[in-house]
Amino acid sequence: MSWLQQSPTPQAALAEQFRVLVAREPLVLPGVYDALSALLARRAGFRALYLSGGAYTASRGLPDLGLVGLDEVAERACDIVRATELPLIVDIDTGYGGVLNAARAARTLAEARVAGVQIEDQSYPKKCGHLSDKTLVPPEELEQKIRAIKAVAPALYVIARTDAHEREGIEGVVARARRYLAAGADAVFPEALTNEREFRAVSEALSGVTLLANLTEFGKTPPYTAAELASWGYRIILFPVSALRVAARAMERLYRHLWEHGTTRDLVPEMQTRAELYETIGYVDYEALDRQIARSTLPEWPPAGAGGDHRR
């Protein structure tokens, strides 16, 4: 019942938890896009989460082109942290504007108890890192934003993403990474690398640096395993949009089936049951807090006499 607990974990403690997790062993970081997906990731065993800009904007029915603002992202991040009490890294794109905007974003998200942020060096309007024809800001701009973030929210874990590979090659990726690290970034995210040789080249050039590998499906990076990336020197292995893609496909199938057949009966075995959902969201704990609410009993499903699978 973390949403109602009396002593929420302080932001600095959540940031330190994330640092410890990364230092202990290579960390698989799952993308989530709302509090329910975050709770499901926690139940699966994950101990840190990532609020994907691509997944979040898609959940709003929008493309990942920098269309959502700080307040929208901060509200969603607050929901996730409040529900899970886990360290959360938030994708803040280019920082929602200039240096002062990035600083405001950092302070706002720190107040939401976010463990860290990921910020990139594309120019606005930004686009998915695995699409073509991205444009970059001069490295000085992201350096200034990183320094401002650290000045206003020093406990935040800052991941500096560079999209330089397409235009500046591995040399540009490494050169920019070094500048961002010197400005105070805790980790570097070289986006859209295309093969093992490139991943190894970045890791060898940035020996000792905490590196993030992005394993988004249907992009420029092959579907490597977390173990492979870890063996090449990457400490954070990110799967940002996987959950949204699987959920969207499942919903697509359900809606098509419902339209064609007028029933969901055949898909019930694929559904999370009422009991499983209530356990995930802590339904009984909420009832226990308010004694005016009578303790609920779950209805039998299907109703008596209907036959079939008795899932609840």
The set of residues, in sequence order, having a beta carbon less than 8 Å from that of 77 and lying 6+ positions away, is 51, 88, 90, 109, 112, 114
Write out pLDDT tens, residues 23-41: 999 999 999 999 999 999 9
Q: Indicate if the pLDDT at residue 309 is higher than 60.
A: no
Write out pLDDT tens, residues 79-91: 999 999 999 999 9
Q: Give SS3 for 36.
A: helix
The b/e string for 83-93 (b: 16+ C-beta within 10 A; e otherwise) is bbbbbbbbbbb
Query: Rounded to an integer, what distance in angstroms lies between the CA atom of residue 94 and that of residue 178?
Result: 18
Choice among 47-51, 124-128, 242-246, 306-310 with the minimum mean pLDDT:
306-310
**Given this model, what pLDDT does residue 310 score?**
44
Query: Rounded to an integer, what distance in angstroms lies between the CA atom of residue 5 and that of residue 2?
Result: 5
**Given this model, what pLDDT does residue 2 score?**
59
Look at residues 75, 51, 77 and name the one whose alpha carbon lies nearest to residue 64.
Answer: 51
For range 59-74, the mean pLDDT: 92
**Given this model, what pLDDT does residue 305 score?**
64
Q: How many CB atoms lie within 10 A of CB 259?
A: 8
- Parse the chain into domains and list their residue ranges: 2-240
> To the nearest whole number, what is the mean pLDDT of the chain?
91
Q: What is the DSSP string of 211-258?
A: BEEE--TTSSS----HHHHHHTT-SEEEE-SHHHHHHHHHHHHHHHHH
Query: Rounded to an integer, what distance in angstroms lies between the CA atom of residue 298 and that of residue 240?
Result: 35
Yes or no: say if 193 and 161 are a contact pair by the CB < 8 Å rule: no
**Given this model, what pLDDT does residue 206 score?**
97
Residues of the chain above pLDDT 70, percent: 92
**Given this model, what pLDDT does residue 140 score?**
97
**Given this model, what pLDDT does residue 126 score?**
78
Model confidence at 213, pLDDT cuts 50, 70, 90, reads: very high
For 39, 166, 201, the CA distances from 32, given in Å and listed in that order, are: 9, 27, 30
Write out pLDDT tens, residues 152-176: 999 999 999 999 998 999 999 999 9
> What does pTM read for this prediction?
0.91
For range 214-241, the mean pLDDT: 95
Higher pLDDT, 155 or 123: 155
**Given this model, what pLDDT does residue 307 score?**
57
Is the domain defined by 2-240 classed in CATH 3.20.20.60?
yes
Model confidence at 4, pLDDT cuts 50, 70, 90, reads: low
Yes or no: say if 50 and 161 are a contact pair by the CB < 8 Å rule: no
Higher pLDDT, 285 or 1: 285
The set of residues, in sequence order, having a beta carbon less than 8 Å from that of 136 and lying 6+ positions away, is 121, 122, 123, 163, 164, 167, 168
Q: Give SS3 for 68.
A: coil
